[in-house]
Amino acid sequence: MQSGFGKRKQAPVGNVPVLAPPPPRFVRAVETAIALPSDVRVVPTVAVATMATPDVAVQPLVAYVFTRHLTKLLPENLLLKARTTWPAMPQIDMHAAGDGASVLMGANGVQLGATKFVAAMYPIGELQEASGSALGWPSVSADLNMHTAHAILSVTHPDPARAHMLLTALTVAVVEELDGSGVYWSSTDNLISAQEFLEHARLKDAPPAILWTKINLLDSTTALGAQGALAYTSGLSTLGFKDYECVCSREDLENFVFAFLRTTVMGAAMRGDQEHDGMVREVDNGDGKRPFEISYRHSTSIRPEGGNIIRLNLGRV
């Protein structure tokens, strides 16, 4: 994407430490039943998730919160609110920075993140592209035009899943403290209403896949011929995995991503394993009448920008 909001944001606040990247990891989820909200049952017979190996230092994960209120951020308030979202937050401490507008977050003397309050609007022009697909935010244009301030949140952690959890909990705290109208999640180019963000961020039994990832559609006869629309993910790479694409519906890929994250991030039946191709998952809607067979292998993306991703085949059995 060409707009400023379509590019990965670098944290502009604090002295977020550059930490060494984690070693390569491969995770296998075996024989685990996963209940989906849509009554779809996923049973991975053999499902290997390939962890992307960073070739550069860990980059900050960044979010923005928009508000109409000019309120000073207090470390003790943010920490209290964040702890209700993620139980591990008691291990984290927060304190005010010397500039009077920032709150720093750390653990054991290592800075993990920062929140900076900016008493000014974010440039509206950079929000237009993302606002076209805002989640649960029908009044996005009006709200963005009326916001008077914003907060910039950044988290750096060598474990991508923990970084997402930390930023999610911190964002919940800032949204509540500032009575925010919405959130921009930089890694997926997602604009999300405050209500929608809080609802999904507080899920206790599953990772908030709709916040951390995004399903995109590419309808291109040049790339696909008569095959139809290509659905592909963004955001999984910042979780340490590779992104996926398939010629399928948005709903089918959403169900797969939800099951994938619940199996891997939530730690269900995982063990170290080497990389494999051609894996299969059997997916059933519960009545046995419309099962899926899902296979996936490493491939070169057929999107114009290319790239080494994982190609999914979601087919009816």
pLDDT in tens, 115-131: 999 999 999 888 888 88
Is residue 27 assigned to a domain? Answer: no
Q: Round to the nearest angstrom and report the end-to-end CA distance of the chain.
A: 37
Lookup result for tokens 């996005």: 140
Confirm if 178 and 65 have CB atoms less than 8 A apart.
Answer: yes
Distance CA 10, CA 33 (A): 38
Same domain, 108 and 135: yes
Is residue 24 assigned to a domain? Answer: no
Instruction: State which residues form the domain around 199.
Output: 4-13+57-204
CA nearest to 191, candidates 110, 135, 260:
135
Residue 257 CB neighbour total at 10 angstroms:
22
Q: What pLDDT is stored for residue 242 in this prediction? A: 78
Is residue 25 assigned to a domain? Answer: no
Same domain, 92 and 144: yes
Tokens at residue 210, please? 């709709």
Q: What pLDDT is stored for residue 12 in this prediction? A: 35
Distance CA 142, CA 14 (A): 31
Confirm if 198 and 178 have CB atoms less than 8 A apart.
Answer: no
Segments of the chain with pLDDT less than 50 = 1-56, 221-225, 267-293, 316-317
Same domain, 191 and 281: no
Same domain, 9 and 151: yes
Tally of domains within the chain: 2
Burial label, 144 (beta-carbon count in 10 A; 0-12, 13-18, 19+)? buried
Q: What pLDDT is stored for residue 72 in this prediction? A: 86
Q: What pLDDT is stored for residue 282 in this prediction? A: 43
Q: What pLDDT is stored for residue 84 in this prediction? A: 81
Is residue 130 assigned to a domain? Answer: yes
Is residue 31 assigned to a domain? Answer: no
Q: Which of 170, 204, 238 is the last residue of a domain?
A: 204
Q: Which of 204, 230, 248 is the last residue of a domain?
A: 204
| CA distances from residue 115 to 39, 64, 71, 163 in whole angstroms, order as listed | 39, 9, 13, 14
Is residue 266 assigned to a domain? Answer: yes
Q: Are strands 244-246 and 230-234 parallel, antiparallel or unpaired?
A: antiparallel
Q: Which of 180, 204, 228 is the last residue of a domain?
A: 204
Is residue 253 assigned to a domain? Answer: yes
Same domain, 241 and 293: yes
Residues in the chain: 317
- Strands in 182-185's sheet, in edge-to-edge order, are 93-96, 102-107, 110-118, 149-155, 61-67, 182-185, 190-193
Same domain, 9 and 100: yes
Quick check: helix, strand or coil at residue 186? helix
How do residues 132-162 score in pLDDT, each as one tens digit?
Answer: 888 899 999 999 999 999 999 999 988 888 8
Same domain, 262 and 200: no
Distance CA 63, CA 96 (A): 19
Q: What pLDDT is stored for residue 236 in this prediction? A: 87
Same domain, 144 and 231: no
Q: What pLDDT is stored for residue 228 in this prediction? A: 58
How do residues 154-168 score in pLDDT, each as one tens digit?
Answer: 999 888 888 898 999
**Stated pTM of the model:** 0.70
Distance CA 315, CA 291 (A): 9
Is residue 73 assigned to a domain? Answer: yes
Same domain, 64 and 198: yes
